[in-house]
Amino acid sequence: MDIATKLFYVFLGLFIVLNWGMLMSATMRKIGARIAGRYGIPFYQPWIDLVKLYSLRDSITHGVMFYLGPVFRLAGGLGMFLFMPMIFGSEYFSNFSFAGDLVLIMYFQFFGMLGMALGASEGAHPYSAIGISRGLSQFTTIEVPMTLAIISLAIQYHTLSISDIVAAQQGGIMNWTLFTNPFATIAAMLSLLGAFGHSPFNLVKAPNEIPIGPPTEYHSSFLGVLRTNAAILHVVEAVLFMNLFFGGATSWLELIIKSFLIYFWSVFVGVVFPRFRIEQSVQWFLKIPLLFGVIAIIIFM
Amino acid sequence: MENIIKDIQNRFEVSDIVNQRDNITFVTCEKEKTIALITHMKKNLGFKHFVLMTAVDWIEDGLFQLTYILNNPKKKLDVAIRTFISRENATMETAHKLWKQVSTYQRELKEMFGIDFPGSPRVNESFILEGWNDIPPYRRDFQTKEYAEKTYFPRPGRKTNDPSEYMKKNMS
Amino acid sequence: MTNENKNHDKFLHEENKIREVEAPDGSIIKVDPLNDYFLTDRPVVREPKNKVVEKFLNWARAESLWVLGFGTGCGSIEIPPLVTPRFDAYRFGVQMRPTPRQSNVFIISGYLAVKTLKRVIRTYEQMQGPKYVLALGSCTINGGMYWDSYNTINRLDHFIPVDVYVAGCMPRPEALLAGFAKLKERIKAGRAEGANEYAEKFDWYKANQKKIINDWNMPDYNW
């Protein structure tokens, strides 16, 4: 396949992922509203918000890093997407996955956060700095159980390629990592709650805490880029977990159903449990999820 | 209550004792003795709680009346201590050493009435009015309506009625 | 434009006074904080794009009103019920944002003391255009029951451009929702150009603001 066709399919996949991500975030807010007894936003609200953000007439800047913050964040999301095989067995939607893509994706997960830290600190708003330090400390602890689970998978399947891990899970539901390596799945699914940043762990960006943390100073098209990235990132994270633990997807329909269920798991927890403070969430991730991660490693040693 | 009043009457020669209710009494004290009286009530009579402090402008007599209200939480009693100070160069001894929050009241009185409390923390900083250029607004010689009309761009077309006559017309 | 720095002004704060500081290498530098630490640019008029595009964009702006959650007067207590199940303003695309940078609608909820007005101006100028002001309650129209107060402004539209007034003391949340509907009509018709109006009549607005706020201590235009 020549590079032009490849790029065409990459952009097609990106388009689908972006819109699916927007629809998912709208659905999640709709579910939250219905649980609170409200009617909630119309399902197309995220698209309108995005158009409005990109079409604001003013946007002021605080310097070069302030511009680059959202760009780095978007690069994190896009990087994860580019190296993620979306549809198993499909030549067109495997993107640029290669033998060691799992490591690269783990790196890109953190990359966006670091870029955001640089940009937000240039904004010189004290709340941005506090938000960033909270976000980084929480995300570091989220990474610990997640990394342990992924190392456990690497030991189990003797590979760091996502495509190979998906291939090993084919042939029936009992081949899924969910059943072959339940401890790693539990550890990863618990850390996923933090990675999505819904209710128990949404202190970093919650509007009614220290005003929305890192993006305090971001506005108009800067915020639009951040929102675009959030939509992509949510789908790609869900697809990552789908590939690693739930047997991957062989069609877009399967991908949509599975990623929605994975996303819904974090939404479900989010509407039930109240918000943790930052030190509580750090402690929480270093207890049960970490324990499951260590057990998962020991079993496959 | 009666014992307390008798006690402070003997010690500080308070006058004009008015029993508003069973548990609230107003007394008047001389300016020089007021802080000593408050200290005594806090230290010895159990009036641990400072309720409020306020001022009244008696422009005809050329006096400011300061009122301190103290509360005894154990016996559930209130005593209000009135004292009169001259309107010219109004100064009063500060009481912030007894309760820290008194300094905030004193700051407000300084701003609103122009009563000075030398030694009170931050007493000269602006409290509500930032950048006030006129005489203190709670003094009765301050013409509030004129000032507002001069300063705040009143919207034309506002009608005002004398409430009593307006109601008489409407009720009949 | 430069920010006027009147060193003799008795309300000028100590940290804003023109002063001389010693640099690490021993040389003496003159610092004028209001001009050196802040931008001095004026707001500029941003012309709308061509008609068809602007109509679509205005529709998007009208359907996505982000409200600044800054309670300025007694009416701020009418805003929280908007997001409760009974009124549910989310249906109409109204969302609360915590920072002025990300919001488009500024609800002035009731009376404004001079001290609050200063913050309101600062916040309004930090919002990104096109921005809209929804004035809630009689106090913003003609002073309401505080019309002859020594410290409360009478007419909000002398200090920032107002798009929609909601009369009442206090208006109920339903009236506020009706105000949002009116604001949407105005935006869709392309008449809600408050930010441009502010830039055009900047000198007049500044003169009015400075007449009242003696304790200025901020740059003339707060980016």
pLDDT, one tens digit per residue, over A93-113 is: 888 888 888 888 888 888 878
pLDDT averaged over chain A? 87
- Taking CB atoms and an 8 Å limit, are C143 and B154 in contact across chains? yes
- DSSP designation for B81: E
Nearest one of A79, A65, A191, A195 to A128, comparing CA atoms: A65
The reported pLDDT for the residue numbered C215 is 85
Q: Which helix (H) or strand (E) holds B35?
A: helix B34-43
Structural domain boundaries in chain B: 2-155
Most C CBs within 10 Å: which of A39, A54, A57, as the mutation test of the C interface? A57
Q: Do C113 and B147 touch (CB under 8 A)?
A: no
Mean pLDDT check: name the lowest of A91-105, C53-67, C184-198: A91-105
pLDDT at B5: 87
Q: Kindly give the pairing relationship between strand B63-72 and strand B49-58.
A: antiparallel
Residues of chain B with pLDDT under 50: none
Structural domains of chain C, ranges and CATH numbers in brackets: 1-41 (no CATH), 51-212 (3.40.50.12280)
| Most C-contacting residue of A219, A223, A225, A226 (CB-CB within 10 A), to test interface | A219
pLDDT band per the 50, 70, 90 thresholds, residue C6: low
Tell me how close the Cα of B105 comes to any Cα of chain C, in angstroms. 19
Ramachandran class of A212: left when φ > 0, alpha when ψ lies in -120 to 50, beta otherwise: left
Residue C142 has pLDDT above 80, yes or no: yes
| pLDDT for A124 beyond 80 | no
Q: Are B127 and C126 in contact (CB under 8 A)?
A: no
User: CB–CB of A82/A96 below 8 Å?
Assistant: yes
Does pLDDT of A254 surpass 70?
A: yes
Q: For residue B149, what pLDDT is reported?
A: 87
pLDDT value at residue B109: 93
Distance CA C148, CA B4 (A): 44
Q: What pLDDT is recorded for position C186?
A: 93
What is the distance between the alpha carbons of residues C216 and A90, in angstroms, rounded to a whole number?
Answer: 65
CATH topology of domain B2-155: Beta Polymerase; domain 2 (3.30.460)
For residue A68, pLDDT beyond 80: yes
Cross-chain Cβ contact A45/C96 below 8 Å? no
Domain ranges of chain A: 3-299
**Cβ contact, residue pair C113, B142, below 8 Å:** no
A216 reaches C (C-beta below 8 A):
yes
> Checking phi first, is residue B46 left (phi over 0); if not, alpha (psi -120 to 50) or beta?
left
Task: Give tens-digit pLDDT for A69-90.
Answer: 888 889 989 989 998 888 887 7
Give me the pLDDT at residue B27, please: 93
Q: Say if residue C5's pLDDT is above 80.
A: no
| CB A218, CB C102: distance < 8 Å | yes
* Residue C8, pLDDT above cutoff 80: no
Q: Pairing between strand C65-68 and C94-97? A: parallel
Q: What are the tens digits of pLDDT across the range C74-116? A: 888 888 898 899 999 999 999 888 888 889 999 998 888 999 9
- Is pLDDT above 80 for A246? yes
To 5 degrees, how large is the angle CA C17–CA C21–CA C24? 155
Residue C7 confidence (pLDDT): 65
Q: Please report, for residues A72, A129, A194, the alpha-carbon distance to residue A225 in angstroms, rounded to integers and kept in the order given.
A: 10, 20, 22
| pLDDT-derived band at A211, boundaries 50, 70, 90 | low
d(CA C81, CA C68): 15
CB contact under 8 A, A42 and C46: no
**What's the mean pLDDT in C206-219?**
88
- Rounded to 10 deg, the angle between the A182-196 and A252-272 helix axes is 70
Could you tell me which chain C residue has the CA closest to the CA of A51? C60
Please give the model's pTM, rounded to 2 decimal places: 0.88
How high is the pLDDT of residue C219?
Answer: 85
Q: Is the pLDDT of residue C10 over 80?
A: no
Does the structure show a pLDDT above 90 at A46? yes
Q: What is the pLDDT of residue A210?
A: 64
Cα gap C132→C164, rounded to integer Å:
8
Q: Inspect the interface and report whether the beta carbons of A59 and C128 lie closer than 8 Å.
A: yes
Mean pLDDT of all residues in C159-164 = 93
Q: Where are the alpha helices (DSSP H) in chain A?
A: 3-35, 45-54, 64-82, 101-122, 126-157, 162-168, 177-180, 182-196, 220-245, 252-272, 278-285, 288-299
What's the count of helices (H) and strands (E) in chain B, helices before strands? Answer: 5, 5
CB contact under 8 A, A207 and C98: yes
What is the 3-state secondary structure of A192-241? Answer: HHHHHCCHHHCCCCCCCCCCCCHHHHCCHHHHHHHHHHHHHHHHHHHHHH
| A223: contact with C, CB 8 A cutoff | yes
B115 or A59: which carries more pLDDT confidence?
B115
CB of A51 less than 8 A from some CB of C? yes
**Lowest mean per-residue pLDDT among A15-19, A116-120, B121-125:** A116-120
Name the band, by pLDDT with cuts 50, 70 and 90, for residue C66.
Answer: very high
Kindly indicate the confidence band of residue C62, based on its pLDDT and cuts at 50, 70 and 90. very high
Least confident of A246-260, C68-82, C156-170: C68-82
Burial of residue A3 (CB within 10 Å: 0-12, 13-18, 19+) is exposed
Average confidence (pLDDT) over A266-291: 89
Lowest mean pLDDT among A150-159, C10-19, C165-174: C10-19
On whether any CB of chain C is under 8 Å from the CB of B143, the answer is no
d(CA B53, CA B80): 9
